Amino acid sequence: MSISPMHSEAEISWEEMKEFVDAILFQATKKYLTDLEVKVLKGSWEGKKYDDIATELNLTNTYIQNDVGAKLWRKLTDIIGESVSKNNFRQALKREREKRKARQSIPSVNRLELPHHPVPLNSPFYVERYSTTSVRYTIEALCYEAIAQPAALIRIKAPRQMGKTSLLDRILAHTQNCGYRTVRLNLQDVDEVKFSNLDNFLRWFCACISLELGIPDRLQDFWKQPIGSKISCKTYLQDYIFPQLKTPLVIACDEVDRVFSYAEVSQGFFGLLRSCHEEANNRHIWQQLRLVVVHCTENYGLLDINHSPFNVGEPIELTEFTPIQVEDLVQRHQLDENNDLVQQLMAMVGGHPYLVRLTLYHLAQPTSGRWGDLTQLLQDAPTDSGIYTQHLRRHLGILRENPKLAAAFKQVINTIEAVQLDSILGYQLYSMGLIKWQSNQVMPRCELYRQYFQKRLN
């Protein structure tokens, strides 16, 4: 099928795109586009098929498609870290162009962002991370590729304040740009009464989907007590919601950890998600559904893991920033390129995304006063007068309300070597972001936590 140029991308001309591709190719390979690559790229830009391009050049389709086109897309894939093909190169290169522009933009004082909220889509301070399973592709690129697959299911796991919501924002923005319909549900926003039983919860689930899509609620017509709430819910989606949509539907469930505390709802809801995902093997209409599940921990309570979505689909785990990524952020904040700065900062807070960005925000303030001095900032870091005090006090409050959790963490911070904990307590501390795993043992996530909590828990 020929792909027509999209008017929404009219702000980028063919000449601008060619110039951009030439620039990134030369930067990576010290070579520009060949004449044939220019012809294939331009023909693809104009929506022509390989057959048409080959005919115009008096060459074979096989040569144009396999020897020129495929190699060009492969080179671009390697350079930008996102899968590039004839079908998606316009969107992929446009995203890469915008990202590079954002990196080059000089943030003014007003553009410095306190990292207390998800990173805005157009922020110059968003850092893409590479997957733990593939150093060639960013996590974002893997998610964009995965969500395009029929009946996709993506599981995003990381402790709090590691960037899960910022990643989810970008996945949903990408799917909306692809023309998909999206529904976003934050389970922290659900009224407590909805967790009283599975029927109440699934009615809420379906009603929210209708509301988000702007489709009238017809629960009473599809909710049949004799067949049960799970089948009623699936019937509502299959026979009412899906037929009204001409594009895939993405349902993103954020903060699903809250559901783990309610045994009946947890078993039923996660079993339903697994069933909906697998239904695509039996009925083609279910291939429309794409699921994204976001959670902090693997402490699933009494959930039967073999009847849940947590061992199928595409697993995504967000890791800490690497030294190279922290150095990149230092440059984006217009701070002096100082390896000592990166080393000192990471020695205190590791690569924790929130703590790193909070530090750089204060260092980059022109009127930062005492915080303009890294030495002073790090000296005050584990005290109640430091910049991390709100973050640390929040964790301290949770630990003091849970003596068993506090005792377990006290054991971790008072030992230089990694220690073994009860798995449930370990998962709870991990979900808070206080520890990191080393095989089956744990250590404090960073030196800041060790120093601060040693004084207060002891």
CATH 1.10.10 boundaries in the chain? 390-457
Residue 233 to residue 360: CA distance in whole angstroms: 47
Is the CB of residue 143 less than 8 Å from the CB of residue 290?
no
Residue 415 to residue 431: CA distance in whole angstroms: 21
The domain 139-317 having CATH identifier 3.40.50.300: the answer here is yes
Q: Which CA distances in Å does 126 have to 121, 166, 451?
A: 8, 8, 29
Dihedral sign of CA atoms 453, 454, 455, 456 in order: positive
Residue 10 to residue 94: CA distance in whole angstroms: 11
* The pLDDT of residue 440: 85
User: Tell me, which fold does domain 390-457 have in CATH?
Assistant: Arc Repressor Mutant, subunit A (1.10.10)
Dihedral sign of CA atoms 374, 376, 381, 385 in order: negative
Closest CA to 289 of 267, 312, 273: 273
pLDDT by residue for the chain (458 residues), tens digit each?
333 333 334 467 888 888 888 888 877 777 788 888 999 999 999 999 999 999 998 889 998 998 899 999 988 988 888 888 999 898 888 888 887 776 555 444 446 788 888 999 888 899 999 876 665 678 999 999 999 999 999 999 888 889 999 999 999 999 999 999 999 999 998 999 999 999 999 999 999 999 999 999 999 999 987 888 999 999 999 999 999 999 999 999 999 989 988 888 988 999 899 999 999 988 999 999 999 999 886 554 444 555 556 677 888 989 899 998 999 999 888 887 666 889 999 999 999 999 999 999 999 887 654 445 788 899 999 999 999 999 999 999 989 998 999 999 999 999 989 999 988 888 889 888 899 988 889 999 999 999 999 999 87
Q: 264: buried, middle or exposed (CB in 10 Å: 19+, 13-18, 0-12)?
A: middle
Q: Which CA distances in Å does 163 have to 120, 139, 187, 323?
A: 11, 12, 17, 17
Lay out the sheet containing 289-295: strands in order across. 181-186, 249-254, 289-295, 153-157, 314-317
Instruction: Give the pairing type, strands 435-438 and 181-186.
Output: unpaired
Backbone dihedral region for residue 47 (phi beyond 0: left; psi -120 to 50: alpha; all else: beta) = left
> What phi and psi, each to the nearest 5 degrees, are found at residue 145?
-70, -40
CATH 3.40.50.300 boundaries in the chain? 139-317
Closest CA to 38 of 58, 59, 22, 61: 22
Closest CA to 78 of 125, 24, 5, 42: 24
Closest CA to 170 of 156, 159, 160: 156
Closest CA to 136 of 85, 80, 93: 80
Three-class HEC string of the chain: CCCCCCHHHCCCCHHHHHHHHHHHHHHHHCCCCCHHHHHHHHHHHCCCCHHHHHHHHCCCHHHHHHHHHHHHHHHHHHHHCCCCCCCCHHHHHHHHHHHHHHHHCCCCHHHCCCCCCCCCCCCCCCCCCECCCCCCCEHHHHHHHHHCCCCCEEEEECCCCCCHHHHHHHHHHHHHHCCCEEEEEEHHHCCHHHHCCHHHHHHHHHHHHHHHHCCCCCHHHHCCHHHCHHHHHHHHHHHHHHHHCCCCEEEEEECHHHHHHCHHHHHHHHHHHHHHHHHHHCCHHHHHEEEEEEECCCCCCCCCHHHCHHHCCEEEECCCCCHHHHHHHHHHCCCCCCHHHHHHHHHHHCCCHHHHHHHHHHHHCCCCHHHHCHHHHHHHCCCCCCCCHHHHHHHHHHHHHCHHHHHHHHHHHCCCCCECCCHHHHHHHHHHCCEEEECCEEEECCHHHHHHHHHHHC
List CB contacts of 60: < 8 A, sequence separation 6 or more: 54
Closest CA to 372 of 359, 389, 385, 383: 359
* The pLDDT of residue 300: 45
Residue 432 to residue 398: CA distance in whole angstroms: 9
Residue 446 to residue 5: CA distance in whole angstroms: 50
Q: 68: buried, middle or exposed (CB in 10 Å: 19+, 13-18, 0-12)?
A: buried
